[in-house]
Amino acid sequence: MKINENNKIIIWMRENKKASIFILAGLLLLVLTIPTSSNGKKENENQASSVELEEEDYCKELEKEMEEILSKVDGVGKIEVMITLKNSKEQVVNKDTSLNSSKNVDEKEGEKSENEALEQGEETILVNIDGDSVPYVVKEYSPTVEGVLIIAQGGDNPNVKVALIEAATVLLNVPSHKVSILKMEESV
């Protein structure tokens, strides 16, 4: 554009202030809605890695507690526990449900007909935490244990095996066929 054309645009914007405001607001909205791919990917990766860390920490804490308590059982000796998880942590959010009812009466040629329609809506309730709107969590379920491996010095003793299997099934709420007991190497 030449200087003369720039002056025409400025003059037109001064004469049409409302149109200029709408154009500038539209440009601003356009710029704000342009996705930034790198930030979105990084944020999703950070959320995924934080969930993985939470699950890993949860699993490690369970393993540590199991090792501490089971090592006190007579005949077990040194022990190591490995736990696998079936799913991740699950949160139940509070939702506001609404039920709308409408009744319609039609009269045609002396006949009367009534129609009733029900509409159900559901909306997640949000709370403000540190300036962010997040869903209101009602319940939170821990990950489900899929299987347990226990390696113990006394793992070859049938009485110790039975005691460890019973303890693992009670503590972790898993069936006995999902618990495996092995004897630890002598050199460890």
Higher-pLDDT residue of 72 and 93 is 72
Q: Say whether pTM exceeds 0.95.
A: no
Q: What is the DSSP letter of 78?
A: S
Determine contact, residues 24/30, Cβ cutoff 8 Å: no
Average pLDDT for 99-113: 76
Torsion sign over Cα 154, 156, 160, 161: positive
Distance in angstroms (rounded) separating the CA atoms of residues 185 and 152? 9
Decide yes or no: CATH 3.30.300.30 for domain 56-89+142-188. yes
Amino acid at site 86: K
Smallest CA-to-CA distance from 147 within 170, 164, 166, 172 is with 172
Give the pLDDT confidence score for residue 21 in this predicted structure: 76
- pLDDT score for 148: 94
User: Within its chain, how far is the Cα of 161 from the centroid?
Assistant: 37
- Express each pLDDT in 28-49 by its tens digit: 777 777 765 555 455 555 555 5
Range in 43-47, 64-68, 71-75, 89-93 with the lowest mean pLDDT: 43-47
Greatest Cα pair distance in the chain? 98
Q: Is the pLDDT of residue 151 over 80?
A: yes
Provide the pLDDT for residue 12.
Answer: 73
Q: Report the mean per-residue pLDDT for the chain.
A: 80
C-alpha–C-alpha distance, residues 89 and 54, integer Å: 9
Domain(s) of CATH 3.30.300.30: residues in the chain: 56-89+142-188
Q: Which range, 32-41, 121-130, 168-177, is most confident?
A: 168-177
